[in-house]
Each structure stands twice: as C-alpha cells, then as structure tokens.
Amino acid sequence: FTYALVRQTRTAEHGDVVVALYKDELTIKIYENAHGIEILRPRSNDASYGAIVLTQLCDIKGVVVAILPSNLY
C-alpha cells in the first residue's frame, strides 16, 4: 500500500492533488480550473479513469501534501 497525507480543506488551487467525494466514493485526482470550469483529472493514462467536471455531486475533502511509501513503517 501507499499512503497519502492529506490536509483537510474544502478549497484547492490549480494543479493541486485533491481528495474528493464523488458519487459516494473518494477519489484522488489533479484539480484544474480552466476559464471557470473546475475539473478533476486523473494522473493515470488508463482510459477507465476519466476526468470529472465538478458539479454539486462532487465535494473536495482535502489536498494531498505527501505520499508515503508502505515500507516506511
């Protein structure tokens, strides 16, 4: 496993990696704000992980501040 250290916040800046609640599931994606349109974009090139345009169904829960490897413990 890999662990994400997350600072709890409801706002994000363009380019932040965020934890968001979308359709009752948590996801970690890159936050983008382009011309007033807020998008959560996956880092993965896997087509099954698509971008999410932020709507009322999506709620930012925090910003990832560090990724910790599982062998750290």
pTM score of the predicted model: 0.84
- Tell me the C-alpha to C-alpha distance, in Å, between residue 54 and each of 3, 6, 11, 67, 68: 25, 20, 12, 24, 27
Residue 35 confidence (pLDDT)? 87
Residue 11 · residue 60 · CB < 8 Å: yes
Give the model confidence (pLDDT) of 7-64 as tens digits: 999 999 999 999 999 888 899 999 999 888 889 999 888 888 888 888 777 889 999 9
